[in-house]
Structure 1
C-alpha cells in the first residue's frame, strides 16, 4: 500500500500527467492492466493504489515515481479542486444541505475560488469564539488549575524572554523603553503612537505593513511598555487566531507572562529575591521599584518565581471594593470561594480577608499586612490598592503562616478570623443586626446585565472589528 499518500493530490497529479501525455483512461488502462473504472477511482481520490501499480503508471507516463507522488498539486486549478472536495466533506458545509458539486472541465476557475471563499467565511463565522459566562468561568477554572499544576512557572516562555533580552544587549535593572522599541524593530515591526486608537483595544497590529499602533498613556498596570511587549509576545509565542474563548484566554495569559518575564527578567529577579529572602526582607514594593513595573505585575511575577527559586508556596488575588474576585491563583492550599463548577471569578471573598480589609485601612494606598485565620490554617498577606479610573482594585499576595518570617511586614498585629464558607462567618449578617432589619429593607440592586449575557462575539471577544478595520484603513498610507 502507499502508506501516508494523500489520495486527492495523487489523483490530481495522475489526471494531470495522463492528459499531458494525451492518453485516455482506456489507453492508460491497457498499458498497466487496469480497467478504466479503477483508474477513474484513483484519479478521484477514492482508491488507494498499490506500490506496484504506482510504479507501472509512472513507467507508462514516462515520469519518475517521485514526480507522481509529489505532495503538491500539479496546478492552481488542481489545488482548488482538491480544496473544494475537502470542503464538501466538512460538516459545516454539509449543514447547508446543498447537492454535491461535481467539478468538470467546464466549471470556471473563478467559480471555484468564489465557492471556496464563501466556504472559508462560513467556517470562520461558525467557529467564532462566543462564550456564555458559564463557559468563560469554566475556561478560567481550567487555566487556573493548569497554572497551579506548574506552580505558575512556564520555562518555554522564560526561554523566549531570555532570547529577546539577549538580542538587544540587556544587562540589568529596569528595562528602558528604548530597548523595548529595539525588540519590536528586531522582529520586523515598526511602532506608531496614535491618539485615535479604537476604544475596544489596547493596541492594533497591521500585519500587512508590520506596524504596531498604541496610545502613549498608561491604563492601570498596562503601561505602553507592557502593552507593546504583550503584543509582541503573541507573535514570538507563535499564536494563531484563537479557536475559541479558552484559546483566547490562554493566549492572553501567555502574552502577559511573556511581558512580565521581559520586564522582570528571571535570572536577575531570582537573584534579587533570593538575597531578600536571606535577609528576611521580601517585599513586593521593592520588586516593583527595582524593575519599574506596576504592583500587580510585581505580584504576578513573584508567583512565577516563588516556588521554583524561593521554595515558597503562595496565593494571589485581585478583587474590587465589594470583594468580587477578578483574578486569583494559589498553590498554598487557600480555599477560594467557588461555584459548583469550581470557578472562582465573580465570587465574593470573605469580608475579613486582607483584600477587603485594605479598603477600610486609614491609608488604603500603602501596603496593608494582616494575618488571617481560616479553616485551612493561618495565612499572612500583604494587600495594596491600585487606583483606577472608574474602579479601584486590591492586589493581595499571601503565604502560609510559617513562611511569613521571610517577609517585611511580618511584625503586624493586624489579625482577622474567617470561617468562610461557613454561614456563621460573613455570608449572613450578624443575628442581632438581622433581627432589627430583616423584612424592613428593600435595596435597589445595581444591575449586572453582563451576568446574563453571552460574552461579546468575535475572534477577539469584545473588539469592535469595524472600528479596527476603519482605523487601519485610515492609517494604511500614512
Structure 2
C-alpha cells in the first residue's frame, strides 16, 4: 500500500479523468461522497475491497490505485507541500496549513514547494556545524556503550552475505566483494576523478559503485569502501534527515564492512582460541584477516564483550595527544569537554597511546600497565603514519583481564592522575617560574574546528560536484 496521501491523490486523479463526481462514484461503490472525499484527502484509509470496487467501476487495474508514485507532476507537488507543512520545521513557524485547491495556479504551488525546500536546506545548513557533530557523536557513543559496541542484527546480515558468496576463512578477496555488489545489481568501477568530498559514489540509475583507482596503503581500503556502499542498500538507508542520522548511518555501514571483512563466526573462533592460549594480540588478528591494525582493533571492540566476556577501551590518538576516535566500557575516564565530547581532547602523557611514540622500534605492539584513579589497565599500542602525521591505536583492558594478552609480562608501568591538571598539563613549578612571561609562541590552529560542514544532501559532500561527476560518467557510456 502507498501512503494515504499518495493513494488519495491517485484515487482523485483516476476519478476526475473518468469524469465522475464524488457523489457519482460514491453511489456506484456504496459510500457517501463525504467519506470518499476524506479518502482522497488522505484522511481515511479505504478497505481493499472498496479499492477493488472503485477500480472496477473506473475500468482500471487495482494496481493503478496502489502504485506508490504520484499520478502527475501537480500531484507530486501537492504531496510534497502537505508533507512539508506536516513537519516540525513548519510547525515551529506557527502558520496555518495551506491546502492547494484546484484554483491554485501551478506556478504558485511550485513557488510554495520551492520555499519549503529552501527552508529545509537552510535548516540543515544551520545544524551541520562542528558543535552539532560533537553533540550527535557524543550521544551515539553513549548508545553504543550501552550495547557494548555490538549490533547483532548487522552481524547476522553480514554473516548471511558472506555465506552466500562462499566465504569460509582467511582474508576476504576483492572478487568476493565484487560478487556481493553484483548480486545486488551493482558493478564496481574504479575512477580517478571522484568528487573531492566523496570516498565512493553509488549510481542507482545505472547500477554502478565508483571507487578510487588504488587501495589505501597497508590495508583493506577498497574492499571496505565497496562494502560500505553496498551496506547502504542492504540496510535500506535513505537521505539522512539530520546530522545524527548521518552519523548513525556511517556507523552502521562501517560496522557492516568490518563484519564482512572479519566475519563473526570465524573471528570469534580465532579470538576464543587466542584467549584459551592466553595470547590475544591485535597484530595477529589483523594479519589473520588481512586488514589494517585500526580495523582489527575496532572489530575487537565489537566482539570482546559480547563473545569473550571482556571489558575494554579503544583509542586512536594523534602524535599531539589529541583523540580522533575513542570507545570504552571498562571504566577508564576519557578526557571530555563540557558537552561530553571526546574528539580533539588531549589524553594523558603517561598513557601508552602517547608513550608509545617515544620508542625507537615500532614494528611490533607496545605494552604498558597504567595506574589511573579508576584502576590499573593493561594497554597494547601500535603506532602508524598517515599522510600528514603519526597516530597510535590502543586496545586496553582492566588489570584482571591482562592475563589473556600477549605482552602481559611487560615491565613498563606508568602512573596517571588525569584529569587532575597537576598530573601532566601544568609545567613543573621551577620551569614555570623561570620562563613565565619570557616566551612567546605562535600556536598551530586546527582549521577544521572553525569550518562548518558542507551542507549538501549528505553532510560533507558537495551536491554540485557529485551530480556533475555522475552526469559526466553517465554521458560517457
Going from structure 1 to structure 2, the CA distance change for 1:166 and 1:86 (only over 3 Å counts) comes to: same
Going from structure 1 to structure 2, the CA distance change for 1:441 and 1:171 (only over 3 Å counts) comes to: same
Say if 1:93 and 1:119, in contact at 8 Å, map to a contact too.
no
Give the SS at the match of 1:141: helix
Going from structure 1 to structure 2, the CA distance change for 1:365 and 1:45 (only over 3 Å counts) comes to: same
Say if 1:333 and 1:376, in contact at 8 Å, map to a contact too.
yes
Of the three residues 447, 459, 466, the one matched with 2:457 is 459
Say if 2:228 and 2:254, in contact at 8 Å, map to a contact too.
yes
Match of 1:428 in 2: 426
Say if 1:12 and 1:43, in contact at 8 Å, map to a contact too.
no
- 1:274-329 per-residue CA deviation (whole Å, 9 max, x = no partner) reads 11111110000100011000000010111111112111110000010011001000
1:205 aligns with 2:202: yes
- 1:418-467 per-residue CA deviation (whole Å, 9 max, x = no partner) reads 00001220121111221211221211101223323322322222223222
Of the three residues 221, 225, 228, the one matched with 2:226 is 228
Partner Cα distance (1:245, 1:161) in 2: 25
Match of 1:418 in 2: 416
Q: Where do 4+ consecutive residues of structure 1 move more than 4 Å?
A: 5-29, 38-51, 61-64, 70-75, 90-102, 105-108, 111-117
Of the three residues 373, 390, 393, the one matched with 1:392 is 390
Say if 1:7 and 1:48, in contact at 8 Å, map to a contact too.
no
Say if 1:11 and 1:42, in contact at 8 Å, map to a contact too.
no
Say if 1:354 and 1:382, in contact at 8 Å, map to a contact too.
yes
Task: After superposing the two structures, state which structure 1 stretch, 7-16 or 116-125, moved more.
Answer: 7-16
Alpha-carbon shift at residue 376 of structure 1 (Å): 0.5
Say if 1:368 and 1:383, in contact at 8 Å, map to a contact too.
yes
Match of 1:192 in 2: 189
Match of 2:325 in 1: 327
Alpha-carbon shift at residue 218 of structure 1 (Å): 3.1
Going from structure 1 to structure 2, the CA distance change for 1:340 and 1:44 (only over 3 Å counts) comes to: same
Alpha-carbon shift at residue 364 of structure 1 (Å): 3.2
Going from structure 1 to structure 2, the CA distance change for 1:286 and 1:86 (only over 3 Å counts) comes to: same
Aligned residues: 462
- 1:228-261 per-residue CA deviation (whole Å, 9 max, x = no partner) reads 1111112111111111111111111111111110
Partner Cα distance (2:379, 2:472) in 1: 49
Match of 2:337 in 1: 339
Match of 1:450 in 2: 448
- 1:69-92 per-residue CA deviation (whole Å, 9 max, x = no partner) reads x76799547844752662573466
**Structure 2: which 5+ residue stretches go unaligned?**
none
Partner Cα distance (1:24, 1:173) in 2: 66
Alpha-carbon shift at residue 139 of structure 1 (Å): 1.0
Going from structure 1 to structure 2, the CA distance change for 1:408 and 1:107 (only over 3 Å counts) comes to: same
- 1:110-143 per-residue CA deviation (whole Å, 9 max, x = no partner) reads x588457636743652453642222211111111
Of the three residues 261, 268, 271, the one matched with 1:270 is 268
Partner Cα distance (2:84, 2:302) in 1: 47
Match of 1:137 in 2: 134
TM-score, with normalisation over the residues of structure 1? 0.84
Partner Cα distance (2:321, 2:112) in 1: 51
- 1:376-412 per-residue CA deviation (whole Å, 9 max, x = no partner) reads 0000001111211111211000000111111001111
Give the SS at the match of 2:201: strand
Partner Cα distance (1:33, 1:153) in 2: 52
How do residues 5-404 of structure 1 correspond to structure 2 at under 5 angstroms?
Answer: 6=4, 13=11, 17=15, 20=18, 45=41, 76=72, 79-80=75-76, 82-83=78-79, 86=82, 89-90=85-86, 102-104=100-102, 107=105, 111=107, 114-115=110-111, 118=114, 121-122=117-118, 125-128=121-124, 130-219=127-216, 223-404=221-402
RMSD value, Cα: 3.8
TM-score, with normalisation over the residues of structure 2? 0.84
Say if 1:365 and 1:386, in contact at 8 Å, map to a contact too.
no
Going from structure 1 to structure 2, the CA distance change for 1:25 and 1:218 (only over 3 Å counts) comes to: closer
Give the SS at the match of 1:174: coil
Alpha-carbon shift at residue 105 of structure 1 (Å): 6.8
Partner Cα distance (2:197, 2:288) in 1: 32
Give the SS at the match of 2:157: helix
**Structure 1: which 5+ residue stretches go unaligned?**
none
Alpha-carbon shift at residue 175 of structure 1 (Å): 0.8
Alpha-carbon shift at residue 189 of structure 1 (Å): 0.3
Partner Cα distance (2:276, 2:246) in 1: 40
Give the SS at the match of 1:395: strand
